């Protein structure tokens, strides 16, 4: 019986391959995983994203790990020790019997399906024991909190949180509405901060989620005093981004991170189901509330085109779709672009611009200093 790929390599080489997969799924450099003491929670690996990574490791290396391996080991060093110990045990077993060919024990047997719709915010930056304020950013179409992994804290005393989609492990389960998913995230936010005032925001489709999270919290009697919309084309003016655009950009390594050679399949799968939900999404105006309780709205637009002048027409994509042109070509209108109609005339709207295009503004070299400065100008410090 042929041995699994994982058993055909030395444990050090195996662990290096695992690190490469983790880094690729997180969208970070492998160097960021070299510190043995770095907690997986600090890297944004919660149970949802952990299951996605475990599944990828299984597919790529034919290595079966417990779904909760990242919670059980806690950090890079303990994961390395687990891999070395498991490799040694499996190798010994293979030498004595051909009946067992994978690294599997009782704890790795299929577990009963958990309630995947319970989410908890992922801390990106800050110290919850010291910082006095929080900012919650909702994920883009990827559904991954790690979209914001390269952002710095918006202010010295502010924790930056994001959320993973509960459907990362199985995007086909994403059958609810944008409003329903926003409600799930809002309840997760309340686990960290039970009461307002809140600061919420989001990049791209994350702007839609942020708007609906705001409305949910307001319906609970809470105050959202700031909402930050990062390059988020408003649905009152723009169509849903065609999936063909996502596939084209992915195949040409234009999804933002130039250091990543291949966009993970789970990311494209989650984009697809997100776009289906966005297609059905018809936002309604914020409910009438006292002016003093209305949030200040901060809109940040990227100024650069994804493609050079005339490049969009050469892609074969349908450039008759307004949102395709808006995302790929040089922009002319950098005003509120429809968002003003959703705040019932109650909110002050501030607009800022930053270098970069729609897909790379949350990646180096654009992110940390620029978005931090925009946050500062947005009254966040």
Select the more confidently predicted residue: 150 or 213: 213
Q: Within a domain: residue 252?
A: yes
Specify whether 17 is located in the same domain as 126: no
Query: What pLDDT is attached to residue 126?
Result: 85
Supply the range of the domain harboring residue 279.
122-380
Q: Within a domain: residue 9?
A: yes
Query: What pLDDT is attached to residue 136?
Result: 96
Chain mean pLDDT for the chain: 82
The predicted model scores a pTM of 0.73
Q: What is the CATH number of the domain that holds 201?
A: 3.40.50.1820
Pairing of strands 296-302, 133-138: unpaired
Tell me if 36 sits within 8 A of 76, measured CB to CB: yes
Q: Within a domain: residue 115?
A: no
Mean pLDDT of 153-169: 87
Query: What pLDDT is attached to residue 266?
Result: 81
Specify whether 266 is located in the same domain as 149: yes
Whether 211 has a pLDDT exceeding 90, the answer reads: yes
Whether 206 has a pLDDT exceeding 70, the answer reads: yes
pLDDT tens digits for 341-374?
A: 999 888 999 999 988 899 888 876 666 445 545 5
Whether 262 has a pLDDT exceeding 80, the answer reads: no
Q: Within a domain: residue 351?
A: yes
Query: What pLDDT is attached to residue 276?
Result: 95
Mean pLDDT of 305-310: 87
Specify whether 317 is located in the same domain as 184: yes
Select the more confidently predicted residue: 255 or 87: 255
Mean pLDDT of 254-281: 80
Q: Within a domain: residue 139?
A: yes
The Cα 348–Cα 346 span in angstroms is: 7
Whether 21 has a pLDDT exceeding 70, the answer reads: yes
Specify whether 130 is located in the same domain as 274: yes
Specify whether 67 is located in the same domain as 138: no
Mean pLDDT of 128-150: 89
Specify whether 266 is located in the same domain as 131: yes
Whether 222 has a pLDDT exceeding 60, the answer reads: yes
Query: What pLDDT is attached to residue 201?
Result: 96
Whether 47 has a pLDDT exceeding 50, the answer reads: yes
Specify whether 102 is located in the same domain as 131: no
Specify whether 186 is located in the same domain as 229: yes
Query: What pLDDT is attached to residue 204?
Result: 95
pLDDT above 70 coverage of the chain, percent = 81
pLDDT tens digits for 61-114?
A: 888 899 889 988 888 888 887 886 676 555 433 333 333 333 333 333 333 333
Q: Within a domain: residue 114?
A: no
Specify whether 179 is located in the same domain as 216: yes
Q: Within a domain: residue 25?
A: yes
Specify whether 127 is located in the same domain as 97: no
Domain boundary (76, 108, 140) is at: 108
Number of domains the chain is built from = 2
Give the contacts of 305 (CB within 8 A, at least 6 positions apart): 311, 328, 329, 330, 331, 357
Instruction: Decide: residue 92, CB within 10 A, 0-12 exposed, 13-18 middle, 19+ buried.
Output: exposed
Specify whether 178 is located in the same domain as 286: yes
Query: What pLDDT is attached to residue 104?
Result: 38
Please list, residue by residue across 10-34, b when 16 or more beta carbons sit within 10 angstroms of its beta carbon and e when fewer do: ebeebbebbbebbbbbbbbeeebbe
């Amino acid at each position: 019986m042929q041995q699994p790929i994982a058993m055909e390599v030395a444990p050090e080489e195996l662990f290096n391959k695992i690190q490469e997969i983790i880094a690729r799924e997180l969208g970070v450099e492998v160097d960021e995983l070299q510190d043995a003491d770095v907690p997986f929670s600090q890297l944004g690996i919660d149970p949802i994203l952990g299951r996605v990574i475990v599944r990828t490791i299984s597919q790529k290396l034919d290595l079966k790990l417990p779904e909760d391996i990242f919670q059980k080991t806690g950090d890079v060093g303990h994961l390395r020790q687990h891999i070395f110990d498991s490799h040694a045990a499996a190798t010994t077993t293979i030498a004595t019997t051909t009946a067992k060919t994978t690294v599997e024990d009782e704890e790795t047997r299929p577990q009963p399906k958990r309630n995947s719709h319970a989410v908890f915010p992922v801390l990106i930056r800050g110290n919850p024991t010291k910082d006095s304020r929080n900012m919650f950013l909702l994920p883009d179409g990827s559904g991954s909190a790690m979209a914001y992994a390269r952002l710095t804290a918006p202010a010295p005393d502010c924790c930056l949180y994001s959320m993973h989609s509960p459907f990362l492990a199985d995007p086909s389960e994403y059958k609810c509405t944008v409003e329903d998913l926003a409600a799930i995230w809002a309840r997760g936010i309340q686990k960290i901060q039970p009461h307002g005032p809140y600061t919420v925001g989001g990049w791209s489709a994350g702007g839609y989620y942020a708007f609906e999270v705001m409305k949910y919290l307001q319906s609970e009697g809470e105050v959202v005093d700031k909402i930050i919309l990062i390059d988020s084309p408003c649905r009152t003016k723009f169509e849903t981004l065609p999936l063909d655009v996502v596939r084209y950009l992915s195949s040409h390594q234009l999804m933002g991170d130039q250091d990543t050679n291949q966009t993970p399949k789970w990311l494209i799968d989650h984009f697809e189901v997100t776009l289906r939900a966005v297609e059905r999404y018809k936002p309604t105006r914020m409910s009438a509330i006292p002016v003093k309780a209305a949030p200040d709205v901060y809109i940040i637009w990227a100024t650069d085109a994804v493609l050079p002048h005339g490049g969009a027409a050469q892609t074969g994509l349908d450039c008759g779709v307004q949102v395709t042109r808006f995302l790929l070509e040089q922009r002319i209108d950098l005003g509120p672009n429809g968002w003003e109609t959703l705040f019932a005339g109650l909110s002050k709207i501030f607009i800022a611009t930053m270098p970069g295009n729609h897909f790379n503004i949350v990646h180096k070299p654009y992110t940390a200093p620029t978005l931090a400065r925009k946050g500062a100008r947005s009254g966040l410090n």
